[in-house]
Chains A and B, each alone.
Chain A
Amino acid sequence: MSTLRREAGLALAIARKDALAELRGRHATVSTLFFAAVVLLLFGFALGPDSARLAAAAPGFLWLAVVFAGILAVNRLHLLETDDGALEQLALYPVARRVIYAGKAIGGFAVMLVLGVVVLGAVGVLFSVDIAAAWLPLLVTVVLGAVGIAAVGTFYAGVTVRLRAREVMLPLLMLPVLAPLLLGAVRATVAALAGDPFGELGAWLQLLVAFDMIMVVAGAATYGFLLED
């Protein structure tokens, strides 16, 4: 079996293990979803009640809610490994460090994807935005955004897992790095919803792809150093 296939299998095994543990014990995905919903509600309270203004700001709300909930989600995924020293054991397997990173990030991606889709639907309902018309470009944007947030979030969750003041350091480190992803995702969402009048959708999606690729490579290359003490 080629190395790539073997490593992909190992990464998926890690992701599957996380999914299993998550589904069985923690109910964290559900609470993360509800958190995102609450954030949306608060946006409505803070910037409403003018429906036109809310509809115009909806793409921003969508991605802010996803990013904030995403911070909680990646944090949880790393907390899974605090089960009786599981992270240390994980680091001791003869498995390449980038594979461990990939496994954690795939799990993060799955959660972020679910989050993105659900929040997209919620935004459509709460802020009277027609998402059905542009569902395909919106879905693509959500997928690309999920990859980026998972890649960056997994990395920083690893950095902060044993750090003092973790709760504030994780968002503080993660959010500035995510700024271009936030910008690109919101712009792409705006363009998609408006039917792409200026033809800019492609450019923003390309930005997201570039961001994703760069961050995945950077994360995979450096995550391993976190596992050695």
Chain B
Amino acid sequence: MPQTTIYVSPRSLGAHDTRPPAVVTADLARLFAGTPALAGVSLRVEAGRTIALLGDNGAGKTTLLRLLATAIRPTYGTAQVDGLDLDRQADLVRERVAYLSHATGLYDDLSARENLAFAAHMLGTPDRATRVERALGDVGLADRAETRVRDFSAGMRKRLALGRILLGQASLVLLDEPLAALDEDGMVLVEQLLAAWREVGVTVLIASHATERLEPYVDGRVLLERGLVAEVSGTGVSSTLPTPASASERRQAVATR
């Protein structure tokens, strides 16, 4: 793939140390039908860092990303993105966050270009037509712009979804298994994106199994096990244990109602 500069345009971000932490969570928990997917995570991610979320299936990586993306609401606990409350200021958080999930959220019957054009409109991208073409080129799908997404391979869909992220101005990018289903060129694209985002100061959270490939781009690592933080390493991220005090406080609160 030719080495072109990828066009990422986040909001104007200041220097590292002047910015508030990108993500702060306090005992963040989420239950599904009574089962805790996330059992109490207290993390702090510094702005502009790239952090890897590690852990087995069911450890809570996807749940954490979905919570931060405002796709789901927390059951307990609080979180702030760029200082904005996840629960009460969700619409403002949405303006700052981009999320690549397992599902691509693309419309099968529309072409690649039409999908991006629609996304650009929804995201409020300035200069839509040019940006869409640029994004298509940056992810290597310029020659497939007219093809219906229905006929795309899983890898191509993922690339298109990454192209959609390029259309926004997120300061926090959440990637759930970005390397899955990608071929060599696709993985190189992800590496280029990570480099581009780091340069501009975008904070990136990557949930992944296979991290060796992305090691050079990652500042810190968080290991999740059964909905809790098991281990934190590297720079740019720190964590505290879910405090027993807060748990019994809640118990008290329920008992006295």
Contact = CB atoms under 8 A, between A and B. Distances in A.
Interface of A: 9-10, 13, 17, 20-21, 24-26, 80, 83-86, 88-96, 228-229
Nearest to B118: A17
Given A85-B101, A93-B94, A93-B123, A25 B108 contact: yes
A26 B109 contact: yes
A84 B102 CA distance: 9
Contacts of B105: 83-86, 88-90
8 tightest A-B CB contacts, nearest first:
A89-B105, A85-B103, A25-B109, A93-B122, A21-B109, A229-B72, A94-B95, A24-B109
B91 interface: yes
B108 A13 contact: no
23 contacts: A9-B121, A17-B114, A17-B118, A20-B114, A24-B148, A26-B109, A83-B105, A84-B103, A85-B101, A85-B102, A85-B105, A86-B105, A86-B106, A88-B103, A89-B101, A91-B71, A94-B94, A94-B122, A94-B124, A95-B122, A228-B90, A229-B71, A229-B73
A89 B70 CA distance: 11
Nearest to A87: B105
A92 to B, nearest CB: 6
Interface string B87-130: 00011001100010111111111100010001101111000000
B71 A17 contact: no
A93 B169 CA distance: 12
B180 to A, nearest CB: 14
Interface of B: 69-73, 90-91, 94-95, 99, 101-110, 114, 118-119, 121-124, 148, 150, 157
B107 A83 contact: yes
Given A10-B122, A17-B118, A92 B106 contact: no
A93 B104 CA distance: 14
A92 B100 CA distance: 11
A90 B106 CA distance: 10
B158 to A, nearest CB: 11
A228 B99 CA distance: 15
Given A84-B105, A89-B103, 12 more contacts: A25-B150, A83-B107, A84-B103, A84-B104, A85-B101, A85-B105, A86-B106, A89-B105, A93-B94, A93-B123, A94-B124, A96-B91
Nearest to B148: A24
B123 A94 contact: yes
Contacts of A9: 121
A82 to B, nearest CB: 10
A134 to B, nearest CB: 39
A91 B69 CA distance: 10
Contact of A92 (B71, B102, B109): B71
B215 to A, nearest CB: 29
Nearest to A16: B118
Nearest to A229: B72
B73 A20 contact: no
Contacts of A17: 107, 110, 114, 118
Contacts of B148: 24
A46 B73 CA distance: 51
Contact of B104 (A13, A85, A91): A85
B118 A84 contact: no
Contacts of A83: 105-108
B101 A88 contact: yes
B194 to A, nearest CB: 21
A20 B72 contact: no
A20 B106 contact: no
Contacts of B118: 13, 17
A9 B101 CA distance: 27
B106 A84 contact: yes
Contacts of B71: 88, 91-92, 229
A92 B121 contact: no
Contacts of B114: 17, 20
Interface centre among B99, B110, B119 (most CB of A within 10 A): B110
Interface centre among A25, A89, A229 (most CB of B within 10 A): A89
Nearest to A86: B105
B50 to A, nearest CB: 21
Contacts of B123: 93-94
